[in-house]
Amino acid sequence: MPGAPSSALSGATIRTDSDQRFAALLDGATDNTVITNYTTDRPSTWGHNFTRRLDFTGVAWDDTRTATAVSPLHVVMAAHYQRPVGSTIVFNDRSGQPHRRTLVAVESLSEIADVAVGKLDSPLPSGVKPYRLLPPSTGYESLAGCLAFVTDQQRRAFVHEIAGVQGNGLSFRHGSRVSSLFRKNLVAGDSGHPSFLLVGGEMVLISTHTTGGPGSGSFYSCPQVFSAVDAAMTKLGGGYHLSVVPLASR
C-alpha cells in the first residue's frame, strides 16, 4: 500500500488517494476474513490476507451487536441494536490478545440518528485503536464513488462504493470496480457494524449499519450527528472528545 501522503488530503482528493490504496490492498486478494480462530478467553488470530495490513483492533467482534471505539473510553453502536448496560465487550489487540471491558452507561441518539454511545468501565490499552472521523461538514458530496470497507457479523471486511451522503445518512452501492468476492448484501445481525474510509491509509470511521442491501446508516461527520455523539461522550464523562483527521481546504 502506498505510504502516507506528504500533506493533508482534501475532501476532493480523498478518492484518488483511496483508489490507489484499495488497488494495492486487493491485488490478488481472495479472502476477506478479518479475524479467525476467534475466542474471548485466549488470543485469536488476525486474518492472513489484505485485512492484516489494516487496524481493526477498535472493533469488538464478540457479539453481533458490535461496538466500535471512538475514544479509549467510549464506543458507538446502532441505537436499534445496542448492547445493554452491564454487558462485557471484548476487543483484540494486534497480537490477538483479548481485552475485556464492561459497558457501564449508554446514551441513545435515536431521535437524531441510529447511534448509541457507550462508556466503558476503564480505558482501553494503547494497542486497541479508537477511530478518528472526518471533520464535521455538510460538504462531502465528493465522497460519492469512493470505496469503503463495510464489515459484518462474521468478522469480514467487504468493499462497497459510497452511493452518496444525504443529510445525516450515508448509503452504499455495489460497484463493478471490485470483485464480487468483496461485495455483500447486509442482513439482520450486521446492524451497528462499522464502515471505514481510507484517508491517507488510515481507517476513518464514517458510518455504522442501519439497513440491509449494500448498506446505509448514520454519517458520523454530519455536523448534527458529530455534535450529538461528542455531547453524549461529554455527558457520559471521562474527558474524551471525538478526534478527526486533518483535511486540507477544499
**Homologous superfamily in CATH for domain 35-131+223-236:** Trypsin-like serine proteases (2.40.10.10)
CA-based nearest residue to 16, from 27, 5, 26: 5
Alpha carbon distance 41, 99 (integer Å): 9
Alpha carbon distance 206, 134 (integer Å): 7
Q: Residue ranges per domain, the chain?
A: 14-34+133-219, 35-131+223-236
The helix (H) or strand (E) run that includes residue 25 is helix 14-26
pLDDT averaged per 10 residues, the chain (length 250): 72 88 95 96 96 97 98 98 98 98 98 97 98 95 95 98 95 94 96 97 97 97 98 98 87
pLDDT at 7: 66
CA-based nearest residue to 207, from 133, 141, 137, 153: 133
Alpha carbon distance 169, 246 (integer Å): 22
Sheet holding 67-69, edge to edge: 59-60, 67-69, 74-77, 116-120, 98-108, 88-92
Residue with cell 481493526: 56
Q: What is the pTM of this model?
A: 0.95
CA-based nearest residue to 54, from 92, 96, 89, 25: 25
Which residues lie closer than 8 Å to 236 by C-beta, 6 or more apart? 74, 105, 107, 117, 118, 119
pLDDT at 5: 73
> Could you tell me which CATH number the domain at 14-34+133-219 has?
2.40.10.10
Amino acid at 21: R
